[in-house]
């Protein structure tokens, strides 16, 4: 897609998003209005019903008008696309797009919004072809050792580069591997991304220009869950790529969920319990399917299908163990010193990152020598901390 077309697509995406948001806010205001005019547990008078009917028509006019304006802007933007010159394809705009997909990526996909991210492999911020000819042209010195980097929630492939360091670039040089980065919509269900990742990996390995000797994956945060999901579906269908997978390193992956999402769910349930606060519960429900999957660390379709995402519920996941044929490593981060409390990295607890569960039958079988805690380190420091890089290099060499 040319820069001009890409700009027009971005603007149409933003227009549709504003349209959806305006309609959503109108729905919430109308719900609050009804709750005030018709108090819970009290009978409503004819006058109250008349007020609600008149207001309802007003709210409907706002919704209809917003849709018409939104559709009109889409048409105008289509006409303007050929003469739009400024491209939004910058690192900053891509970072904003990645955050947007992480927060409401499922909504963007459902509405076919141009801002949605379609899963692909990338290298040096460019989409990689998955045919033999295209791969050969992109990698003049390609070899059979693949290093695949999988980013986390609200991130993208570019954000692996932090403070002048990129684990993927440095490890690929030291280990003589060909670097590849996964790029995906982190707002989708983890299992949906896992299935697509599985299929994309099979296509990549099948069309790799030279025989694949080994595949090594380094995954940060949610990326580790998407990787585990892909492995499960790949092994289930006996995909070729799973035989090439030799090592996985998890960085701050919430294997048993993230506490912040569980707090978010508690707030949802609490707001729903109070009549006048109930309409505002919609605000908390803006967060994506990918985010709600982080409550307990869902990996499979059955972990969420038929279950209300915002309902109070216990951990109902099917336990998926790590593949025994693959060397697995994990690094947890702790914002405190080694002598202090192990509070976690601000987003993920140390135990969750190490695959430890209060129910021992759900523990992930990481070997002790394959686990490590980076103290005085935050969740995002895992992307550039020198000691984290040294540990990865030590394990993967």
Digit-by-digit pLDDT tens for the chain (397 residues) are 555 555 555 555 555 544 554 444 445 444 544 444 444 444 555 544 444 454 455 445 444 544 444 444 444 444 444 544 444 567 877 887 888 788 778 888 987 878 889 999 999 999 999 999 999 999 988 999 999 999 999 899 999 999 999 999 999 999 999 999 999 999 999 999 999 999 999 999 999 999 999 999 999 999 999 999 999 999 999 999 999 999 999 999 999 998 765 444 434 434 344 443 444 444 445 678 898 898 889 999 999 998 866 666 778 889 999 999 999 999 999 998 876 656 788 889 999 999 999 999 999 989 999 999 999 999 999 999 999 999 999 999 8
Residue 208, classed as helix, strand or coil, is coil
CATH of the domain at 384: 3.40.50.1820
Residue 41, classed as helix, strand or coil, is coil
Separation between Cα atoms, residue 380 and residue 45, nearest integer Å: 57
Instruction: Please name the residue that has the structure tokens 């992930």.
Output: 364
Q: What is the pLDDT of residue 105?
A: 86
| Residue 321 located in a structural domain | yes
Residues 322, 209 within the same domain: yes
Separation between Cα atoms, residue 367 and residue 20, nearest integer Å: 48
How many domains does the chain contain in total? 2
| Residue 115 located in a structural domain | no
Q: What is the pLDDT of residue 20?
A: 52
Residues 125, 83 within the same domain: no
Residue 99, classed as helix, strand or coil, is helix
| Residue 212 located in a structural domain | yes
Residues 1, 87 contacting (CB under 8 angstroms): no
Residues 159, 238 within the same domain: yes
- Please tell me the pTM assigned to this model: 0.77
| Residue 282 located in a structural domain | no
| Residue 7 located in a structural domain | yes
Residues 159, 19 within the same domain: no
Looking at 39, 70, 89, the residue that finishes a domain is 89
Residue 215, classed as helix, strand or coil, is strand
Sign of the four-CA dihedral 152, 157, 160, 166 = positive
| Residue 324 located in a structural domain | yes
Separation between Cα atoms, residue 40 and residue 52, nearest integer Å: 15
Residues whose CB is less than 8 angstroms from the CB of residue 236 and which lie 6 or more positions away in sequence, other chains included: none
Residues 343, 248 within the same domain: yes
Residue positions counted in the chain? 397
Residues 145, 64 within the same domain: no
Q: What is the pLDDT of residue 314?
A: 76
Residues 250, 328 contacting (CB under 8 angstroms): yes
| Residue 389 located in a structural domain | yes
Residues 388, 249 within the same domain: yes
Residues 324, 245 within the same domain: yes
Q: What is the pLDDT of residue 302?
A: 95
| Residue 94 located in a structural domain | no
Looking at 89, 108, 139, the residue that finishes a domain is 89
Residues 176, 247 within the same domain: yes
Residues 62, 158 within the same domain: no
Residues 264, 284 contacting (CB under 8 angstroms): yes
Residues 131, 79 within the same domain: no
- Give residue 21's domain range: 3-89
- Residue 330 pairs with which residues in a beta bridge? 250, 371
Using CB atoms within 10 A of its CB, is residue 328 exposed (0-12), middle (13-18) or buried (19+)?
buried
Residues 84, 132 within the same domain: no
Looking at 68, 89, 110, the residue that finishes a domain is 89
């Amino acid at each position: 897609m040319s820069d001009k077309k890409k700009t027009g697509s971005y603007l149409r995406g933003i227009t549709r998003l504003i349209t959806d948001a305006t309609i959503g806010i109108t729905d919430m205001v109308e719900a609050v209005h009804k709750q005030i005019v018709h108090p819970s547990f009290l009978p409503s008078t004819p006058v109250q019903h008349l007020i609600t009917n008149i207001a309802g028509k007003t709210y409907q006019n706002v919704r209809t008008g917003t849709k018409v304006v939104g559709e009109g802007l889409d048409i105008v933007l289509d006409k303007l696309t050929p003469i739009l010159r400024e491209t939004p394809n910058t690192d900053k705009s891509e970072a904003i797009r990645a955050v947007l997909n992480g927060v409401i990526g499922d909504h963007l996909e459902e509405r076919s919004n141009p801002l949605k991210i379609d899963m692909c492999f990338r290298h040096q911020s460019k989409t990689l072809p998955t045919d033999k000819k295209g791969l050969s042209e992109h990698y003049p010195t390609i070899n059979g050792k693949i290093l695949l980097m999988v980013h986390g929630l609200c991130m993208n492939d570019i954000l692996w580069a932090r403070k002048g360091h990129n684990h993927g670039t440095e490890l690929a040089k030291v280990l003589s591997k060909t670097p590849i980065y996964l790029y995906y919509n982190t707002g989708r269900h983890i299992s949906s991304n896992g299935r697509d990742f599985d299929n994309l990996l099979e296509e990549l390995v099948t069309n790799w220009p030279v025989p694949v000797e080994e595949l090594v994956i380094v995954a940060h945060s949610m990326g580790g869950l998407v990787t585990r999901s892909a492995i499960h579906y790949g092994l289930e269908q006996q995909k070729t790529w799973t035989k090439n997978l030799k090592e996985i390193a998890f960085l701050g992956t919430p294997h048993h969920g993230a506490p912040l999402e569980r707090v978010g769910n508690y707030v949802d349930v609490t707001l729903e319990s109070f009549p006048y606060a109930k309409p505002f519960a919609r605000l908390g429900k803006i967060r994506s399917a990918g985010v709600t999957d982080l409550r307990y660390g869902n990996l499979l379709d059955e972990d969420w299908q038929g279950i209300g995402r915002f309902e109070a519920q216990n951990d109902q996941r099917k336990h998926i163990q790590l593949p025994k044929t693959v060397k697995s490593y994990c690094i947890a981060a702790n914002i405190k010193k080694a002598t202090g409390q192990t509070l976690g990295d601000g987003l993920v607890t140390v135990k969750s990152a190490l695959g430890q569960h209060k129910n021992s039958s759900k523990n992930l079988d990481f070997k002790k020598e394959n686990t490590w805690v980076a103290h005085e380190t935050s969740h995002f420091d895992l992307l550039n901390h020198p000691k984290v890089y040294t540990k990865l290099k030590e394990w993967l060499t």
